[in-house]
């Protein structure tokens, strides 16, 4: 079973770019969870997350990095850089509507070109001081992602809400020192919910084989 992880630096996590099977960060944890949960299943895990990517970058590499892979399940986390980069580089500004259009293009093409089950991981920001000014813009992106999930996703993982809940009992800095890039505890949270979502779709695929 071929499982593709796609996204930005959170998914990239310092992987070896020359090896598509090289996992890092939360993707490593997800693979370990799934291999233990399904010991008789043969998996191929592919990580094509690229640090700094926005939704537009995923559109531009759709053919080679989505369609040509023909995954059974694809997990996508994208969107935070659409907001973050606009604050650092105003010429890169994209509205939530632009993010929505880019993301919809990818999801629509996946439905047309592959049989992949789609798992969407919600972009998030933790309340690091310099990130607070971006939260309203990211909230608009999250709303559009949730709309897309209703139309296209087989699973949706509301990470922004999940982290907000976790931060009620644990300081946010325990998960992400800069509010975006997760440390080990943050990766473990993402991995737990991502693995659960992917497992639901593995169960569906196995059931349909029989």
Kindly give the confidence (pLDDT) of every residue in the chain, 210 residues in length, as a single tens digit, with 9 standing for 90 and above.
999 999 999 999 999 999 999 999 999 999 999 999 999 999 999 999 999 999 999 999 999 999 999 999 999 999 999 998 777 777 777 889 999 999 999 999 999 999 999 999 999 999 888 888 899 999 999 999 999 999 999 999 999 999 999 999 999 999 999 999 999 999 999 999 999 999 999 999 999 987
Q: How far apart are CA 153 and CA 149, in angstroms?
A: 5
Using the structure block, give the residue that is written with the tokens 């590499």: 61
Q: How far apart are CA 197 and CA 208, in angstroms?
A: 17
Residue 160 confidence (pLDDT): 97
Residue 71 confidence (pLDDT): 98
Q: Would you state the CATH architecture of domain 2-209? A: 3-Layer(aba) Sandwich (3.40)
Torsional sign, CA 106, 111, 112, 114: positive
Residue 88 confidence (pLDDT): 74
Residue 192 confidence (pLDDT): 98
* Helices 135-152, 96-113: crossing angle, 10 deg rounding: 20
Residue 90, Cβ density class (10 Å: 0-12 exposed, 13-18 middle, ≥19 buried): exposed
Q: CA triplet 115, 62, 67: central angle to 5 degrees?
A: 30
Residue 50 corresponds to which tokens in the numbers above? 């690229």
Long-range contacts of 180-187 (CB under 8 A, 24+ apart): 180/10, 180/80, 180/84, 180/124, 180/125, 180/126, 180/128, 180/131, 181/9, 181/10, 182/10, 182/25, 182/26, 187/13, 187/25, 187/26, 187/29
- Cβ contacts of residue 52 below 8 Å, gap of 6+? 8, 9, 81, 85
Strands 117-121 and 73-77 come out as parallel
Domain-wise residue ranges, the chain:
2-209
Strands 2-7 and 73-77 come out as parallel
Residue 22, Cβ density class (10 Å: 0-12 exposed, 13-18 middle, ≥19 buried): middle
pTM to 2 decimal places: 0.96
The answer to whether 124 touches 87, Cβ cutoff 8 Å, is: no
């Amino acid at each position: 079973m071929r499982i593709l992880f796609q996204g930005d630096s959170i998914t990239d996590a310092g992987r070896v770019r020359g090896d598509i099977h090289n996992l890092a960060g939360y993707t490593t944890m997800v693979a370990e969870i799934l291999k233990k949960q399904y010991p008789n299943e043969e998996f191929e895990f592919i990580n094509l997350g690229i640090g700094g990517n926005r939704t537009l970058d995923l559109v531009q590499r759709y053919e080679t990095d989505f369609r040509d892979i023909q995954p059974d399940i694809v997990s996508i986390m994208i969107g935070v850089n659409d907001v973050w980069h606009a604050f650092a580089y105003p010429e890169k500004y994209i509205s939530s509507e632009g993010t929505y259009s880019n993301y919809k293009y990818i999801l629509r093409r996946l439905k047309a070109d592959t049989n992949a089950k789609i798992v969407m991981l919600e972009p998030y920001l933790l309340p690091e001081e310099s990130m607070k000014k971006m939260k309203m813009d990211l909230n608009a992106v999250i709303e559009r992602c949730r709309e897309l999930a209703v139309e296209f996703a087989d699973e949706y993982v509301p990470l922004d809400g999940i982290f907000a809940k976790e931060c009620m009992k644990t300081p946010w800095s325990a998960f992400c020192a800069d509010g975006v890039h997760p440390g080990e505890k943050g990766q473990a949270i993402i991995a737990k919910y991502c693995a659960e979502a992917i497992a639901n779709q593995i169960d569906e695929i196995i059931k349909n084989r029989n």
